[in-house]
Amino acid sequence: MRVPRFVGEGRIEFGEKPDPAPGPGQLLVRVGANALCGSERGQFLRGSATTPGHEAAGTVVAAGLGTATPAGTRGAIFLMDYCGACRSCRLGHTNQCLAKRGDMGFNRDGGYGPLEVVSESTFFPTGDDVSAAEATLLLDIMGTGGHAIERARRQREDIESVLIAGAGPIGLGVLAMARLRLRPAVPIAITDFVPYRLRLAESLGGLPIDLNTTDLASGLRAHGLGAVDAAFDTTGRQEARQQALAALDKRGALVCIGHGEGVCVTVSPDLIAPERAVLGSEYFRFDELPGNLALLREHRDYLGRIITHRFPVAEIQRAFDLFFQGDTGKVVIEQGYQ
């Protein structure tokens, strides 16, 4: 099969790999679409022996021994090849598997190739009414965004104001899921330096704060906000996290989603006295997919606006160049097989 090769220094070439075959408990999926992710920047710049792509959806074309999913089943592919047997998995925390077998697109060949072998347990059937491109929304957009919202709600059940640092695809996902899962009147402020993404965030119901022209505190005041109940950092930058922490009200929660830099706290004034919490949120649980699929079917036009660009796999270089320039929402590579 012909696959894109990430050779480093921001270059993508094409080469060949043997067609994969499913083993026991595995499915062979013909990929219909795979969404680009900022976490692939390292592979784009430094190269990857593995075919990247961890936001994939497609159609089962063959199945290994011991499987029950028939050929022709459409679905989305969970990033983490979780074991299903450890303490975390038994409780449903598949994103915290203690014996994880791999991560699709990072140490297992992923969805930018035309065929992908996956464990049946990580394949989520979506039905024929959901296209492959739409199904990718279930992953990093709805899955990661929705999981972060629920992490915050465990700390602060009465969220009445939200701040999101970063209006990239993950930030837009948090915004959309907050808009759908919290009360409609909850104000959701969102920051960025890229005007394109701030305009997109505003169209999705966010209150944009352009950090090129104002600071966070002033931007919040301009929207009639002071301290916020929940803040979500999708940037991975320490400066953004510190500002978000400072913007929290009593009992507030800062949820760190973006990997990267740290955050510093002075325990007594930052955490103990106001009973604030700093939380991590990593991807999402496999068992969150059914609820998100129902939400996608109900709000597909709204959620679909997060996908702003689609490219055939032959134009994957152009897609990545544009994506890392910043003037996009979610970018999807379509393989031509829906």
CB neighbours of 294 closer than 8 A, spacing ≥ 6? none
In angstroms, the CA 256 to CA 6 distance is 29
144-280: same fold as 2-128+306-334?
no
Task: For 88-100, write each residue's pLDDT tens digit.
Answer: 999 999 999 999 9
pLDDT band at 338 (very low <50, low <70, confident <90, very high): very low
Give the pLDDT mean for 33-43.
98
What are the residue boundaries of the structural domains of the chain, listed by start?
2-128+306-334, 144-280
Task: State pLDDT tens for residues 15-24.
Answer: 999 999 999 9
1-18 burial code (b ≥16 CB/10 A, e <16): eebbbbeeeeebeeeeee
Give me the mean pLDDT over the 71-95 stretch: 98
pTM for the whole thing?
A: 0.97
Per-residue pLDDT at 105? 98
Position 262 scores a pLDDT of: 97
Question: Please, what CATH class does the domain formed by 2-128+306-334 belong to?
Answer: alpha beta
Position 336 scores a pLDDT of 67
pLDDT of 50 higher than 60: yes
* Per-position DSSP letters for 19-41, written without gaps between them: PP---TTEEEEEEEEEE--GGGH
144-280 CATH, one of 3.40.640.10, 3.40.50.720, 1.10.1200.10, 2.60.40.10: 3.40.50.720
Segment 120-126 shows an average pLDDT of: 98
Question: 221-273, pLDDT tens digit by residue?
Answer: 999 999 999 999 999 999 999 999 999 999 999 999 999 999 999 999 999 99
Q: Are 307 and 285 within 8 A, CB to CB?
A: no
Identify the CA nearest to 77 among candidates 96, 102, 97: 102
Mean pLDDT, range 319-338, rounded to an integer: 90
Q: Mean per-residue pLDDT for 73-81?
A: 98
Q: Does pLDDT of 296 surpass 90? A: yes
* Tokens coding 28: 């062979």
- Taking only the tens place, the pLDDT of each residue in 108-118 is 999 999 999 99
The tens digit of pLDDT for each residue in 279-294 reads 999 999 999 999 999 9
